[in-house]
Amino acid sequence: MLILAFPDYCAPAERLACRLNAPFELIELHRFPDGESLVRLPAVLPDHVIVCRSLDRPNDKLVELMLFARTARELGAKRVTLVTPYLCYMRQDIANRPGEAVSQRIVGRLLADLFDDVLTVDPHLHRISHLNQAIPLANAVCLSAAGAIGDYLSNRFEDAILLGPDSESEQWVSGIAAQIGFDYAVADKIRRGDREVDVTLPDKEFKDKLVVIIDDMASTGRTLARTIGLLQNAGARAVYAAITHPLFCGDAEAHIRAAGVKEIWSTDSIEHPTSCIKLDALLSEAVRSIL
Ligand code: R5P
């Protein structure tokens, strides 16, 4: 078995290789001036290769993964596994208007055609309950960072209120609360546009309380910023944010910080200065379980 990484996700992939006690090599990547990619793998591959790459900002990365997987097979790999801690295109799961591409199904099918196994962490599945409904593979494995986030929070606080900003976050916030014995609540959110959300806090006393907002991702940061602002108005002593996937598009982080968050913690599903919660233990256990 060999663990391979693209240069944009080298350190987490190397941590995974260390945990698995497996050899590690970097895939060479060159982007030509016209935007095309050149992907170069080690010329000799073992039967099983595992590529570890997150699919944030995914469009180029998907093409490069396709070049990688087809080349790996041409070079003799019998089993090609994708470990993608952040999996893209899972949110668009229906055509909201006639003619719209259902990206979840199309990208899922593409990955199933390229790989024998796909492992990911907390994909944003809304209307389906199992990852293999999106990626039709026997080994489409969905892991959760909730345990790692819970461990991190329990080392930081003796007590705090955990708050999910919308009903979709309840699955993570309730799980973490049960794991570490903290109180939790869930707000209501209405999304009015890409960068416009209305949030209503639940009927709960936040005055003088430490509050940790838990969410699966921060994209534009508007959900977090709005919720932080409301908690400040409600008199919270300090507001923190713990998120799984720090996408942080454009001015997202600045917006969240300007809202008054005390600290932001995220996992290394996407590498970012806030990525202090490492997932290599979770990922290596999952890889072992499919060997
Ligand atoms: C939505 O359902 C997700 O759980 C996140 O709350 C959302 O994607 C965050 O997006 P943004 O940072 O753009 O508000």
Q: How many CA atoms lie within 13 A of 47 on its CB side?
A: 1
* Nearest CA-CA partner of 256 in 268, 274, 237: 274
How far, in Å, is the centroid of ligand 1 from the Cα of 218? 6
Report pLDDT for 126: 84
How far, in Å, is the centroid of ligand 1 from the Cα of 220? 8
Neighbours of 70 (CB within 10 A): 14
Please report the atom of ligand 1 found closest to the CA of residue 217: 5
Residue range 265-287: average pLDDT? Answer: 98
Contact residues of ligand 1, CB 6 A cut-off: 165-166, 168-169, 197, 215-223
- Name residue, tokens 């200065």: 273
CB 210 within 8 A of CB 157: yes
Instruction: Give percent of the chain above pLDDT 90.
Output: 98
Beta bridge partners of 66: none
Residue range 86-95: average pLDDT? Answer: 96
- Gyration radius (Cα) of the chain, Å: 20
Bridge-based pairing of strands 28-31 and 37-40 is antiparallel
Ligand 1 pocket, mutate which of 92, 216, 248 (most atoms under 8 A from CB): 216
Please report the atom of ligand 1 found closest to the CA of residue 126: 2
Ligand 1 pocket, mutate which of 56, 171, 199, 219 (most atoms under 8 A from CB): 219
How far, in Å, is the centroid of ligand 1 from the Cα of 13? 26
Give yes or no for residue 116 having a pLDDT over 90.
yes
Residue range 101-129: average pLDDT? Answer: 96
pLDDT digits (tens, 9 = 90+) for 155-214: 999 999 999 999 999 999 999 999 999 999 999 999 999 999 999 999 999 999 999 999
**What are the backbone dihedrals phi and psi of residue 82, each rounded to the nearest 5 degrees, phi first?**
-110, 125
Residue range 247-256: average pLDDT? Answer: 96
Give the largest CA-CA distance in the chain: 62
Identify the residue whose C-alpha is closest to ligand 1 atom 2.
168
Give yes or no for residue 75 having a pLDDT over 90.
yes
Give yes or no for residue 266 having a pLDDT over 90.
yes
Residue range 60-89: average pLDDT? Answer: 98
Angle of helix 10-20 relative to helix 280-290, nearest 10 degrees?
50
CA pair distance 10, 12, nearest whole angstrom: 6
Report pLDDT for 200: 97
> Which conformational region is residue 71 in: left (phi greater than 0), alpha (psi within -120 to 50 degrees), or beta?
alpha
